[in-house]
Amino acid sequence: MRGMFRIYTCPSCGALAYTRVESEEETSQCGLCRTPVLHQPGMLYAVTTQEAEKLVSDLVHASQIESGVKARSTRGVGVRRRVLGIVESLVLENKGRPVEIERFMRECIDASIKPMRGLHFLNILEEEGFIVRQGEAITMDKGGGIG
């Protein structure tokens, strides 16, 4: 798909993603928390969705290198179950405490899940009550888990 795609880090929830815009001046919304996203100096733009996905992936990987996070892969399982598995493992790794959404996004990219697809399934799991959003973080519902 061709057009203009803004690559952004949400000022509210910290999600790293992209969205289609008609011009740099257009206000868009974060795909995760719906916070308005405005053009900022130095903001990146892409012409195709593939280019936008690559830029987001490169930015996430660059931040992982800085923080020393290692990649894991769980290909072959349904995306919904994989997204829930990512949240479960991150919360477990964080000793039951909520996990930043940005960290979840990095794990999605490492698992070859497109950022917007990961956010889509995160929203579904929240609506279904498996996960709970706490501001800029997510955690498992106390009775969570897919049976």
The 10s digit of each residue's pLDDT in 28-72 is 998 777 889 999 888 899 999 889 888 888 887 776 666 555 544
pLDDT confidence of residue 31 = 79
Confidence (pTM): 0.49
Q: Greatest CA span in the chain, whole angstroms? A: 47
Residue 120 has pLDDT above 50, yes or no: yes
Residue 129 pLDDT class (50, 70, 90 cuts): confident
Q: pLDDT > 70: what percent of the chain? A: 85
Backbone Cα Rg of the chain:
15
Cα distance between residue 93 and residue 121, in whole Å: 21
- Contact indicator for 96, 138 with CB cutoff of 8 Å: no
Instruction: Provide the mean pLDDT of the chain.
Output: 82
Residue 97 has pLDDT above 70, yes or no: yes
Cβ-proximal residues to 38 (8 Å cutoff; 6+ apart), any chain: 27
Cβ-proximal residues to 142 (8 Å cutoff; 6+ apart), any chain: none
- Contact indicator for 65, 59 with CB cutoff of 8 Å: no
- Contact indicator for 81, 146 with CB cutoff of 8 Å: yes
Token couple for 122: 């995160």
